[in-house]
Amino acid sequence: LEGTKRCVICKAVFRLCNPSMKRGCLIATCACQVYELKADPCGHCLIINNVNFSRDSHLLTRDGSDVDCRKLEKRFKALRFNVLTRRNLEAKVRLLRKLAREDHRALDCCVVVILSHGCQVGIYGTDGKTVPVEEIVNYFNGYNCPSLRGKPKLFFIQACGGGEYLFWLLKRIGCWA
């Protein structure tokens, strides 16, 4: 049919926003592709805000990160998330492992926000060591965190590169090819 699209999962038919758009947005969303967030709280939101880094790391202070952090806290609380904020954490993943081990069965979603410096190999802790993004995400997969299986897991990473000086430094220490 003109101006429609079929769901690839359940084969339901939907109208496109604009019939002239073959790949446009959908007016309706198929129920098989919707995550309902009915729980209260609807999930955990962990915000890691790394602002000050060790002198040895040569990473600059992330001025303005506290403003972003406060706005994120406010937004996720308004969205009915149980928000836990931690500031200036080293590249140890104990807190992430602990969150992944919690029982999320009564919750509908999990959010992890990391505000820090980053490079190609990962996200910096305040000690100047990195944690690969893949490692962070894998703590919350269906195998390691079965109570979140089939539920949305959202990762927001604001990892600034720090400009030309940081690029030079990262290249020198092997974090940048």
Query: Model pTM greater than 0.75?
Result: yes
Are the C-beta atoms of residues 136 and 124 closer than 8 Å to each other? no
Mean pLDDT calculated for residue range 25-51 = 81
Can you tell me the distance from the alpha carbon of 146 to that of 166, in angstroms, rounded to the nearest whole number?
A: 39
Q: Where are the domains of the chain?
A: 1-34, 43-173
Higher pLDDT, 23 or 146: 146
pLDDT computed for residue 1 by the predictor:
56
Written as six digits, the tokens of 121 are 């190999």
Is the N-terminal amide bond of 146 cis, ω within 30° of 0? no
pLDDT computed for residue 24 by the predictor:
47
Which residues have CB under 8 Å from 177's CB, separation 6+?
Answer: 120, 171
Instruction: List the catalytic residues.
Output: 117, 160
Name the fold adopted by 43-173: Rossmann fold (3.40.50)
Segment 57-109, tens digit of pLDDT: 889 999 999 999 999 999 999 999 999 999 999 999 899 999 999 999 999 99
Can you tell me the distance from the alpha carbon of 136 to that of 120, in angstroms, rounded to the nearest whole number?
A: 14
Share of the chain above pLDDT 90, in %: 63
pLDDT computed for residue 34 by the predictor:
74
